[in-house]
Amino acid sequence: MGGSTRAAEVARHRIVQQLATKMDGMKALNNILLIGVTNRKDLLPEELLRPGRFELKVKFSLPDESGRLQILEILTDNMENSFLAPDVNLQELAARTEKYSGAELEALVNSSVSCAFNRASSVHPTKMGFDEESFKITMEDFLHALHPLASRPSGMMDFQST
């Protein structure tokens, strides 16, 4: 096992060195902007973070409650008229999803749709499909979807707090 770990470290070192060399070579080119994005800055090699490589570092924070509400409104906009039940309270969901990223909010919406499909298909298990006219995504579906996401890995939260 030690040999494969050493080989992986050598390969990693070569890749980092090659990337650093390419980045240094870009200085001679005009009109080139290199942008790098990570949610785990702590895992980036120091060689890539030294001055002259990535000059400007911008931290994007997680959305606040107002931002989360806007994201939820955008994500549910196409389902409001026909599929979103009147009991769905996006403001409450925004309040319950502190430290959620936009991607995690999207996962919440997608999971709530899955919960609604599962509920609708279990009403008539012998019947193929379900009645689209009565299909609604309820607040209960969102709350059910919220529980598995609440125990999600905290890597993004750890990065944001540093």
Q: Do residues 62 and 54 make contact, with C-beta atoms less than 8 angstroms apart? A: no
CATH of domain 65-160: 1.10.8.60
3-state percent breakdown (helix, strand, coil) of the chain, nearest 5: 60, 0, 40
Buried b (16+ CB within 10 A) or exposed e, 111-130: bbbebbeebbeeeeeeeeeb
Tokens 């400007």 sit on residue: 56
Name the pTM for this structure.
0.65
Local structure of residue 84 (DSSP, 8 states)? B
Q: Which tens digit of pLDDT belongs to each residue from 51-107? A: 878 878 888 889 999 999 999 999 999 885 678 999 999 999 999 999 999 999 999
10-24 confidence digits (pLDDT tens) = 898 899 889 888 888
pLDDT (mean) for 127-146: 81
For residue 16, give the amino acid letter.
Answer: V
